Amino acid sequence: MIRMIKKFINKYLTQRNIEIGTYLFFGVCAMAVNIGLFSLLLYAGVDYRIANLFALVFTKLFAFVTNKLFVFKSRSSGFKQLITEFVKFFTGRIFTGLIDYFGLILLVEAFSFPERGSKFILQIIVIILNYFFAKLSFYKNKKI
């Protein structure tokens, strides 16, 4: 029995799978923050484009902290390294932020999709893209 448990752990609970699972968990949390803030601002009467911009900025900050501390477990040796990682993170997220921002406008205005539904679809795309960009760029030197 113990051998079967060890085999299961070695096969399925590798560090890579744990990292992906953690990333997905915090990705879903970031998506909830993004959609929640977006919806709250819409409910308050804010234009969907402005609401999206605020939601994007806040969510990027949330994602930086959670990715750094819990997903990739990146530790900074000093303030300079922290700022460097922060700048690289946001530079990498500009592309997906543009997809999110302009994709929402395209879906809402060109295709008459509902704002919240469009936001949800775009968030799934963004989570997937952000994971690959994160692994290929600013966290690439971290152990998996």
pLDDT in tens, 48-83: 999 999 999 999 999 888 888 887 777 777 888 888
**Which residue segment(s) compose the domain that 98 sits in?**
2-136
CA-to-CA separations, 102 to 41, 45, 52, 94, 130, in angstroms, rounded = 18, 20, 10, 12, 17
Q: Averaged over 89-118, what is the pLDDT? A: 92
Instruction: Dihedral sign for Cα 19, 77, 33, 95, please.
Output: negative
Q: Averaged over 2-22, what is the pLDDT? A: 66
Q: Which amino acid is at 103?
A: G
The answer to whether 27 and 67 have CB atoms below 8 angstroms apart is no
- Decide if 76 is inside a domain: yes
Which residue's structure tokens are 């600013």? 138
pLDDT tens digits, one per residue of 23-36: 788 888 998 999 99
**Structurally, how many domains does the chain consist of?**
1
- Decide if 143 is inside a domain: no
- Decide if 35 is inside a domain: yes
- Decide if 142 is inside a domain: no
- Decide if 93 is inside a domain: yes
143 confidence band (pLDDT: 50, 70, 90) = very low
Query: What is the C-alpha R_g of the chain?
Result: 18
- Decide if 144 is inside a domain: no
- Decide if 141 is inside a domain: no
Q: Averaged over 122-130, what is the pLDDT? A: 86
- Decide if 75 is inside a domain: yes
Which residue's structure tokens are 């994602």? 63
Q: Which among 22-31, 86-95, 110-119 has the top mean pLDDT?
A: 110-119
